[in-house]
Amino acid sequence: MNDTAHALSATRTLWELVDRRARLTPDRPVLLQDDRRLSFGELRARAERVAAGLYGMGVRPGTVVAWQLPTRIETALLSFALARLGAVQSPVIPFYRDREVGFALRESRAEFFAVPGVWRGHDHTEMARRLGAKGVFEAYDDLPDGDPSVLPAPPAEGTSVRWIYWTSGTTSDPKGVLHTDRSLIAGGSCLAHALRLTPEDVGSMAFPYAHIAGPDYTVMLLLYGFPAVMFEQFALPDALEGYRRHGVTVAGGSTAFYSMFLAEQRKRPGTKPIPSLRLLAGGGAPKPPEVYHAVVREMGVQLTHGYGMTEVPMITMGDPRDTPENLATTEGRPPEGMEVRIVAGEVRLRGEAVCQGYLDPAQTATAFDEEGFLRTGDLGHLTGSGHLVLTGRLKDVIIRKGENISAKEIEDLLAAHPAVGDVAVIGLPDAERGELVCAVVERRPGAGALTLADAVSHLRSEGLSVHKLPERLEVMDALPRNETLRKVLKYKLRERFSGPVSG
């Protein structure tokens, strides 16, 4: 991290970070979208006007404001305006509907709720009113506006809870995760330090800004003073024009994004889909080693993958200068200040980027151990060089005839099969074995048929132990995924395939 970025990473609040960056490079761009451009100086000035408008509506320091908005320049302005006021923000992923949104509004006790109106065919305003939300206002093209002279002083400290993020809630109600400005700055600093970016880079946000990755990424822009392109709707190949127009050098999001870029590369192997691209980076989902090797070999760019979660936005990150072996098989190393401890195989964390807990005190009490380490539920180990290797989830261990089997180990090996586009391995109830191993495969476009015998033969050739071999194979056109970082939803696969095999 350069000297300027290092100094900025010590700022107390997000607004202080915005203010200091605006003083350093007021005319440099920070956010690009279609043909629009917002500079660091404009970010500060316009966010203050929006803050004044919100103040006129009754938003005060500590007021809880929920927002469910797409990835737009206006969304970033609203969020930084709330940071200027010291309000408590509760971002909600724009794809969520009545159950998740209603839960978030009730649990956070939001006094205001910003929505985009009708967006992608869904009437968010009508849904908000149906749910009995308070203080509903639309914030898509038009934002509240006012005279900044009415504003109180900005927050002086960054250790109060001012952010409530929501876990996905795929099997139960979501959890409200409590963050401070400082925890978000610490997470963004980790990302910025690991990727070794420069002011000449151009990043990209192809994920929901309401995801924890939104501030994580924006902090990196503020620390290093370079811009990012925002994509309100991300789909390939349509989005490629935006990457090319703005000369994006760093792209990614998660493993699914890498695979989508690879698919575009394979359409025209001799031509780069994004000529300016030099680095793919992301996290949020496991990365099979074969995906790393395929990106480097076929796209001619570097790939660095990291490890984060809503509770800790950035835990470890791959370093572009690291060895191919470490980049392919590990999640990178933790930054200074992030303590990683392995207890009975489980990854536990302590550091400034770790959340303050959950809205529900009972959930907080069970999430941390007696020494203050967060229990992640992830399994892994540290190498001699300090790199973290993830081997699966505690709940993702398949117990077959009393033997523990890692789903991730099988997934990584199957991902190298030429017919496999993506794969998820799950345990299914079985009267004889306790659980059986089921591999669910998304076939690579243009590939031939894949049978269980083919999969087993491939795994045997890779040296997988006999007791870990799948007893069942299912092939799907597309694995079910969430709408944020395109993670595979294994609970949906378990629901679908837990019954008897048809035919």
160 and 193 share a domain?
no
Structural domain ending residue among the three candidates 182, 200, 225: 182
Question: One-letter amino acid identity for 196?
Answer: R
The CA-based diameter of the chain, rounded to the nearest angstrom, is 73
* Residue 387 belongs to some domain of the structure: no
178 and 194 share a domain?
no
* Residue 52 belongs to some domain of the structure: yes
* Residue ranges of the chain with per-residue pLDDT less than 50: 170, 503
- Contact between 376 and 348 under an 8 Å Cβ cutoff? The reply is yes
What are residue 443's DSSP bridge partners?
420
65 and 123 share a domain?
yes
- Domain with residue 198: its CATH number is 3.40.50.12780
Structural domain ending residue among the three candidates 338, 355, 370: 338
CA atoms 97, 103, 106, 110: torsion sign: negative
Round to whole Å and give the CA distance between 86 and 77.
Answer: 14
109 and 160 share a domain?
yes
* Residue 30 belongs to some domain of the structure: yes
CA atoms 253, 254, 259, 260: torsion sign: negative
- What's the pLDDT at 2? 78
- What's the pLDDT at 224? 94
16 and 74 share a domain?
yes
H or E stretch at 407: helix 407-414
Round to whole Å and give the CA distance between 307 and 318.
Answer: 9
214 and 312 share a domain?
yes
* Residue 347 belongs to some domain of the structure: no
* Residue 20 belongs to some domain of the structure: yes
Structural domain ending residue among the three candidates 134, 158, 182: 182
pTM of the model: 0.85
- Domain with residue 457: its CATH number is 3.30.300.30
Q: In the chain, what percentage of residues exceed pLDDT 90?
A: 73
Per the structure block, which two tokens stand in for 104? 């978030």
Round to whole Å and give the CA distance between 477 and 93.
Answer: 26
205 and 324 share a domain?
yes
* Residue 273 belongs to some domain of the structure: yes
- Contact between 92 and 36 under an 8 Å Cβ cutoff? The reply is no
170 and 310 share a domain?
no
Question: Domain count of the chain?
Answer: 3
9 and 158 share a domain?
yes
Domain membership of residue 131 as a residue range: 3-182
Q: Is the preceding omega at residue 361 within 30 degrees of 0, hence cis? A: no
- Contact between 188 and 158 under an 8 Å Cβ cutoff? The reply is no
Tens digits of residue pLDDT in 56-86: 999 999 999 999 999 999 999 999 999 999 9
Residue count of the chain, please give it.
503
Tens digits of residue pLDDT in 173-231: 789 999 999 999 999 998 888 898 999 999 999 999 999 999 889 999 999 999 999 99
End-to-end CA distance of the chain: 59
Burial of 482 (0-12, 13-18, 19+ CB in 10 A): middle
Strands 472-476 and 434-443: parallel
* Residue 252 belongs to some domain of the structure: yes
- Contact between 231 and 205 under an 8 Å Cβ cutoff? The reply is yes
3-class secondary structure for 355-382?
Answer: CCEECCHHHHHHHECCCCCEEEEEEEEE
